[in-house]
Amino acid sequence: MRHQGVNQAAFVDFYESCRLRCLRAVMAHGLSPDEAEDAVAEAFARAWAWWPQVSSLQSPSAWVVRTAVNANVSWWRKRRREVASPAPALRSRGTSEPGSDAVLLSAIAALPPRQREVVVLRYLLDLDTETTARSMAVAPGTVKATLHQALAALRRDLTRAGERAR
Amino acid sequence: MNELEERLRGVGGDLQLDLPVAVVMARGDVLRRRRRVLQVGVASGAVVVIAAMSSLAGFGGQDPGAGPGASERPSVAGSTQGGEPGVRPLSREQLAALEGGHVTRSEYRAGFSRLVACMESRGGQLTDVHVVKGVFEYSYAATPANEKAYGYCYRHEFEQLDILWQLAHEHPR
């Protein structure tokens, strides 16, 4: 039986509109595409299980990403094995060329945790500064300063990656 | 907006996640039922909980008339909590802390301490541990030992406490 009195359509809209943003945000934490897919699936399932509470949060998508990164995802891995011919649910170019998304995601994953979090929230989840600040429990000015440091670090790393490739 | 910021906003733009929402919701329904059984069971005694959780292992998630996605509902065989055969799904301490459906700060912290101890006892280790507004944040190196230990210990000692605590301490809209 589905939740009594729970807005199912709202969850479907949330899932459809946020799943890819959440997926790339989780990949930016260093998970492989398969791991990220499993983790995001489990986190969205938990979001549905606790939807009355999750939907009232400042940023449900940030909750999904945090849950996905923290959660054990063995259930989905088992399910993947049980499916006879699983169609690949996630595809990516996944190249390691300097300008590729894979390199950029790796660079984000290599940032210190706070810098990574602010990049994920601001750019990958597209939250504004105020919402990002509340989600991280810091002042908006701290978000801006941390973001400035993160972008500088990313520029350095990407430049080095480009030089190594030449 | 500069080039890097543009790239960040567009990164992963070609990713696809084709998992149907019905499958996700079916899994969520299983989790919600399990939580309800857990709460009822805690109120009636841990023995009842363990029996109920054990029965869920063979429940299979099949619930005719469960709405969209019922036919796609995957089996939960093998999804019993704990991840190791013959091991109780949740620790006695976590079950006790869940009683009443409210998690106190000391229960949350004790649960995290048990997670750390459990990890260490199984050859794993959490790193980058810090607290943000009362919520533990951490990571672990992606080694087989860590992943195996975390897969067991998070669920056994901390998962339900972590979820309830975070839900209670996120910023409401």
Cα separation values, B86 from A104, A131, B153, Å: 43, 44, 15
The percent of residues in chain A predicted with pLDDT above 90, rounded, is 45
3-state helix, strand, coil in chain A (%, to 5): 70, 0, 30
Contact residues, chain A, for B137 at CB < 8 Å: 113
Question: Please, are residues B34 and B53 in contact by the beta-carbon 8 Å criterion?
Answer: yes
Mark A1-21 as b/e (b = at least 16 C-beta within 10 Å). Answer: ebbeeeeeeebbebbeebbbb
The residues in B 106-125 lying below 8 A from A, measured between CB atoms, are none
d(CA A79, CA B76) in angstroms, rounded, equals 8
B12 with A24: Cβ contact below 8 A: yes
Kindly report, residue by residue over A2-46, the tens digit of the pLDDT: 555 568 899 999 999 999 999 999 999 888 887 888 889 889 999
Query: What's the whole-model pTM score?
Result: 0.57
For the residues A84-106, what does the mean pLDDT come to? 54
* Cross-strand partners of B131: B136
What is the rounded distance in angstroms from the CA atom of residue A136 to the CA atom of residue B146? 26
Nearest-angstrom CA–CA distance, A148 and A160: 19
Average pLDDT of the residues of chain B: 68
- Choose among A159, A27, A165, A160: nearest CA to A101: A27
Contact B137 A124 (CB under 8 A): no
- For residue B24, the model assigns a pLDDT of 83
B129 touches chain A (CB under 8 A): no
List pLDDT tens digits, range A68-86: 887 755 444 444 433 322 3
Residue of chain B whose Cα is closest to the Cα of A80: B74
At residue B113's C-alpha, the angle toward residues B109 and B114, to 5°, is 120
The CA angle B44-B48-B52, to the nearest 5 degrees, is: 125
What is the 8-class DSSP label of residue B84? S
Query: How many Cβ atoms sit within 10 Å of the Cβ of residue B63?
Result: 16
Chain B residues with CB under 8 Å of A71 CB are 154, 159
Give ipTM to 2 decimals.
Answer: 0.74
Number of H helices, E strands in chain A: 9, 0
Check residue A99 and give its pLDDT: 61
pLDDT above 90 for A152: yes
B157 touches chain A (CB under 8 A): no
pLDDT, tens digit (0-9, with 9 covering 90-100), for B86-134: 445 789 999 888 887 788 888 988 999 899 899 999 998 887 777 777 7
Q: E strands within B58-167?
A: 127-132, 135-139
Q: How far apart are CA A1 and CA B54, in angstroms?
A: 21
